[in-house]
Chains A and B, each alone.
Chain A
């Protein structure tokens, strides 16, 4: 089975003034295509750091990062931007929608970077709105939507350009239980029905349970969840 992401000997250090902190120590990771992977771990353990490396938002200090078949640690910032547009959809904890754009304009944003015609963009946006169940809210501004609805818009925006991989950083961290399970169900459906690989950071065991695999970030390395089958059986 081919990998959607493989990381080898990845080191990530942050330099802050005179202090250097090494967040990831020679980390290795293989994510098979179509997998729904949950990353867990204590605050400050490096989950977001790892996710940013996989999503091509940041580069490692050392090591190899191959995602969607590309050595992205070697791409220039311009190449990386184009690569992200093509391969990755991001979903953040705080939705990160453009406040002055309506839901449909937010969802359309990534398509502006493609060569699709305005009519094609319109069609795709309508389909994405339908998929996340917000057809009736197309013209609403983010401020006129609930948290859960905003996150659906964010998911539609992440999906619209048909990425290889969905990268979600605590997508339900700001939502109540009901909205959270809604969103997680949606992500799971996307993973199962459209075969999108998903890498999701979460603090919440219940959220992680939607994934097909759980890894813990611990002391800069990854540890397979000890008793995955037991957790699901329970």
Chain B
């Protein structure tokens, strides 16, 4: 501890240079923390995917006939089937996005009992009110909607028969998705019947079926059976576990892991060269001082330790600042995305990995300087003035 002041003083020997180095490391860690936070949020969405629940969709994402329902229900091993559609709308302005899910009111909630938390009276109200809607609590907060409100949602991709795009709803209740990052999304559940009878196109179709099965180990076999049913129809299907389906959706954004690793990797490679040369430069300027300290009795290892400590303090300090900034920034990213990327936060494991990265960065970049500090000959260094 008594050496801390020495390390600290050495660090701030050239203030401007230290601040610039610090800033560049901070920026790299903000980038690292934010991207990792986003990556983790997407991974959590995939992790939420169940293995005993299948999703049947058209391979190209086109609608499927509702008439397929009874055939899927008849497949051996299937315990229940429900369906939904989807459109995106906004309330008053594009800043208020609402994800509208027209669902099969009879079964959808029942078949997702473990995920949805909704009061029985509100659920009953929803099932009996054609224009009734259930919304996530986060949506209620975001748009200040409450039970009894009559609200219009302007659809971006669902026209009505009357030529308009404004869908009106009566808010009958809220629901929550406990322990599920999707709870932060602006979701609105509406009656499929209301949607299907009022919409201009694709009447009698759904976007996807949810197929609950008794035995997760039969997932592949049952998926095959379902897809074979429609192999020769005009509307082919692709059935996957909910998890695989979520993974597939994520893959559509691009290879996120690769993207994150490439950016972070490039940032850190640059940083390594930058801090490496800065630390070497700083070392060269202090050769004389280190030699003097050796005359006072500081050992070779002691001087090398001081040099390494300075680098670690700088790098880990910057890493902590950067990660804290990323931690503060992630909710803002979430707000920008209006809950579309739910579960945005900086996980402890990323924080830990960041600190470890800071130490590694320091060690890798300071190694040449530390080595030379250790080898530094008093006589040679003092001879130069």
Binding site for B on A (CB under 8 A): 52, 55, 57-58, 77-78, 81-82, 84-86, 90, 92, 94, 96, 98-101, 105, 109-110, 112-113, 118, 121, 157, 161
Contacts and interface: CB of A to CB of B under 8 A. Distances in A.
B297 A110 contact: yes
Given A100-B10, A100-B12, A81 B289 contact: no
Given A84-B295, A100-B9, A57 B301 contact: no
Given A112-B3, A112-B6, A100 B300 contact: no
A32 B251 CA distance: 84
Nearest to B294: A81
A57 B5 contact: no
A105 B298 CA distance: 15
B385 interface: yes
Interface in B1-36: 2-3, 5-6, 9-10, 12-13
Contacts of A81: 294, 297-300, 302
B9 A101 contact: yes
B146 to A, nearest CB: 63
Nearest to B9: A100
Given A57-B378, A100-B13, A86 B297 contact: yes
Interface in B269-300: 288-289, 292-300
B296 A110 contact: yes
The majority secondary structure among interface residues of chain A is: helix
Contacts of B221: none
28 contacts: A57-B379, A57-B382, A77-B299, A78-B299, A81-B297, A81-B298, A81-B302, A84-B295, A84-B297, A85-B297, A85-B298, A90-B296, A96-B288, A96-B292, A98-B292, A98-B293, A99-B13, A100-B13, A101-B6, A101-B9, A105-B5, A109-B6, A109-B296, A110-B297, A112-B6, A113-B296, A113-B297, A161-B297
Given A100-B10, A100-B13, A112-B6, A78 B296 contact: no
Which 3 pairs, one residue from A and one from B, show the smallest C-beta to C-beta distance? A85-B297, A81-B299, A96-B292
A82 B9 contact: no
A101 to B, nearest CB: 6
A121 B300 CA distance: 24
Contacts of A77: 299-300
A94 to B, nearest CB: 7
Nearest to B295: A90
Given A96-B292, A101-B6, A161-B297, 10 more contacts: A78-B299, A81-B300, A84-B295, A90-B296, A96-B382, A98-B289, A98-B293, A100-B12, A112-B2, A112-B3
Nearest to B10: A100
Contacts of B378: 57-58
